Amino acid sequence: MKSLNGVYPSGQPLTGVGSADALYHLHSQTNLQSHVTQGPLVMVRGEGPYVFDEQGKRYLEGMGGLWCASLGFSDQRLVDAATIQMKKLPYYHTFNHRSSDTASMLAAKVASLSPMPDPRVFFATSGSEANDSMVKMAWSYHIARGEPARRKIIARDRAFHGSTVMGASLSGLTNMHAAFGLPLEGIVRVACPYPYRDAREGESEISYVERLVRDLEDRIAEEGAHTIAAFIAEPIIGAGGVIVPPAGYFEQVQQVLKRHGILMLADEIICGFGRTGNWFGSQTFGMTPDMMACAKGLSSGYAPISCVIVHGEVFETLQRHSGKTGGFGHGFTYSGHPLSAAVALEALAIYEEMDLPARSRHLGEVLHRELGRLSDHPLVGDIRGTGFIAGIELVADKVGRMPFDATLGMGAQVERATRSHGLIVRSMGDVIALSPPYILDDAQVVDMVATLKLALDDVVARNLLTAEVA
């Protein structure tokens, strides 16, 4: 409801850019009702790993925006790459045998970093588009091989694969479904590996993985392997709680998939380009995918771009089929956009110069060493992650792993408290996520975790006070 007198409906004054935002901006992944009274946190400037709001307050961006600003917010080389490209060739497309020099060079560079044999690279604009594209390619692959009935996609609980109709359907987060009548038919849901919550008492890691694999086998048998096109998975589940797979999980899953002729689709949108200590999360966790979707870190978030890296054997099948059908009937106006491609090329050059996988491993060691000091904190139940990414799960009872009552919004309380101390994190329910820029130094990582501890202490004190008053 619009205000006519310069205030939010709650009576708070509308000020600055936030007034226009609250009145006219329909936000992504936001409670639209509470936004009217809460208003936005508006950032107006970035400097290195820091962002500044419209009041001038500085925040360390512990999430790199949305897992993506890998090089911070003011890298001059990326700015220059975009400026030069805008002056040279601001736009061109990749339809009907057309291309640009930057898109062509970026395809070659991404292919050279890929662990796949003889890969080809398809470009899109967002991670959602990349995941949608993998599904369509999987369907086309099976049609080309004479198995058009293979349409179903196996996806996991708690996964996030985007916000398009297919991306949201693949995602295992129920809040993305009900309001839109999703998921689409043909999505086969299986459990994700979440040992902190789902391993049974006394169950070893090996036994837990074996149980998940048996359940997958049973689900495939129930649906019929001849109806299943692909299995999609993030190496580390990101938005679903920074959930790290147990050792051997993907190796055993892939044995099942290979036996049944089901393609493996890796969603590398968060993990790709160094986040887990290797160029790709697939390398960290023993995945050998048939296709990989990448985005976010590809351009350090400076320009919208994503890609699908396609295994050479899969491409050969698509190529032959394209010759029969008259063309590969898929693509986007901004696929391989030359400005985004130029920025991505420069980002990859910077990553190589900094030896990004090694840097991520080093920063990750510092991060997880410091986070380990929080293991005895009364709010902290589990600390997990690999490389320069982490999740901290909050619990009401550490011994029994009892979650908090959802109405308390403990994760949101911690997130607000970190902001008051000048740190941006992300709360996903009662899991706090960290995915910082790679340009932090060791001291900044230590300070970031110390700030998080201050916020946790604030929330403990506030809730104790509330309980005493009650």
> 363 and 238 in one domain?
no
> 325 and 214 in one domain?
yes
The DSSP string of 339-396 is HHHHHHHHHHHHHHHTTHHHHHHHHHHHHHHHHHTTTTSTTEEEEE-SSS-EEEEE-S
d(CA 380, CA 371): 10
Structural domain of 122: 77-353
CA dihedral of residues 336, 337, 341, 343 (deg, nearest 10): -160
> 168 and 64 in one domain?
no
Residue 42 · residue 21 · CB < 8 Å: yes
> 323 and 360 in one domain?
no
Inside any domain, residue 51: yes
Q: Which residues have CB under 8 Å from 53's CB, separation 6+? A: 41, 42, 43, 44, 59
Looking at residue 348, what is its pLDDT?
98
Kindly report, residue by residue over 353-377, the tens digit of the pLDDT: 999 999 999 999 999 999 999 999 9
Looking at residue 400, what is its pLDDT?
92
Element (H, E) at 338: helix 338-353
Looking at residue 201, what is its pLDDT?
92
> 342 and 456 in one domain?
no
The DSSP string of 85-154 is HHHH-S----STT---HHHHHHHHHHHHH-SSSS-EEEEESSHHHHHHHHHHHHHHHHHHTT-TT--EEE
d(CA 309, CA 292): 5
Residue 21 · residue 40 · CB < 8 Å: yes
> 321 and 187 in one domain?
yes
CATH of the domain at 425: 3.90.1150.10
Phi, psi torsion values for 45, nearest 5 degrees: -160, 150
DSSP state of 13: B
> 45 and 127 in one domain?
no
CATH of the domain at 188: 3.40.640.10
Looking at residue 13, what is its pLDDT?
55
Looking at residue 4, what is its pLDDT?
34
Looking at residue 19, what is its pLDDT?
76
Looking at residue 37, what is its pLDDT?
78
- Burial per residue of 322-352, b for 16 or more beta-carbon CB atoms within 10 angstroms, e otherwise: eeeeeeeeebbebbbbbbbbbbbbbbbebbe
> 308 and 175 in one domain?
yes
> 366 and 333 in one domain?
no
- What is the number of alpha carbons within 13 Å of residue 7 lying toward its C-beta? 6
Q: Which two tokens stand for residue 12?
A: 């708070």
Inside any domain, residue 367: yes
Number of domains in the chain: 2
**Boundary-marking domain end, from 302, 331, 353:** 353
Among residues 251, 135, 144, 264, the alpha carbon closest in space to that of 193 is found at: 251
pLDDT in tens, the chain (470 residues): 344 345 444 445 555 677 788 888 899 888 888 887 788 899 999 999 999 999 999 999 999 999 999 999 999 999 999 999 999 999 999 999 999 999 999 999 999 999 999 999 999 999 999 999 999 999 999 999 999 999 999 999 999 999 999 999 999 998 899 999 999 999 999 999 999 999 999 999 999 999 999 999 999 999 999 999 999 999 999 999 999 999 999 999 999 999 999 999 999 999 999 999 999 999 999 999 999 999 999 999 999 999 999 999 999 999 999 999 999 999 999 999 999 999 999 999 999 999 999 999 999 999 999 999 999 999 999 999 999 999 999 999 999 999 999 999 999 999 999 999 999 999 999 999 999 999 999 999 999 999 999 999 999 999 875 655 44
> 285 and 258 in one domain?
yes
Looking at residue 15, what is its pLDDT?
59
In terms of residues, how long is the chain?
470
Q: Model pTM?
A: 0.94
Residue 68 · residue 436 · CB < 8 Å: no
> 447 and 339 in one domain?
no
Rounded (10°) angle between helices 338-353 and 101-113: 40
> 185 and 133 in one domain?
yes
The CB density around residue 294, as the number of other CB atoms within 10 Å, is 27
Inside any domain, residue 36: no
